[in-house]
Structure formats: C-alpha cells, structure tokens
Amino acid sequence: MPSIAEERQLLDELRELLAATVEDLAVEEIEPDSSLKDDLGVDSLAMLELVAAIEDRWQIEVPQEQADRLTTVRQIAAHLAEAVAAPAGGAA
C-alpha cells in the first residue's frame, strides 16, 4: 500500500498525463474522483491514448478488460500503485 505522499505524487503525475493526453483538458479540472467519461469527457479513442501513455510512462501493461473497468482517476491511480509495486511478470 503506497503512503499518502506516494499516492499524492501518483495522482499528480496521472493528472498531468491526462491533461497532456486528452484534448482541451487542464490539470486544474481533474479531481481524484472525476469520472473519466462523465466529468472529463474521455471518449473511447482518448481512453486508448491514455492507456498507451500510462503503459509507456510506467512501463506496465494494462489489459483492455482492466482498462474498461477503470472509470475514475482514483481507480487508475490505485491500479498503478498495485501494478508498479508488483514484481514484473509476477502476481502482487
């Protein structure tokens, strides 16, 4: 489980990545509990770009089934915290 500081840093990095990836989205608009689709206007194409950017930034793989279940910024951050902490190729 990440510390509060690590979780905050992960959320900040994710917010910056979202703003850089999704057109017309500013970091200030992105809250941890923002819904990607409803609050931030992330459509299916933007979600694919976001997943690719996350995979590139954190050097992890996000299977499509998992990506489909990640609907808020906080859920993505929690998934990242688990995935980054897990040993490569192993189970957490």
All residues at 6 or more sequence positions from 9 whose CB lies less than 8 Å from its CB, including other chains: none
Q: Please work out, in degrees rounded to the nearest 5, the angle formed at the alpha carbon of residue 34 by the alpha carbons of 81 and 12.
A: 45
Active-site residue flag, 68: no
Q: Which of the residues 38, 43, 56, 68 is marked catalytic?
A: 43
Collapsed DSSP state (helix, strand, coil) of residue 41: coil
How many whole angstroms separate alpha carbon 89 and alpha carbon 87? Answer: 6
Could you give the residue numbers annotated as active site? Answer: 43
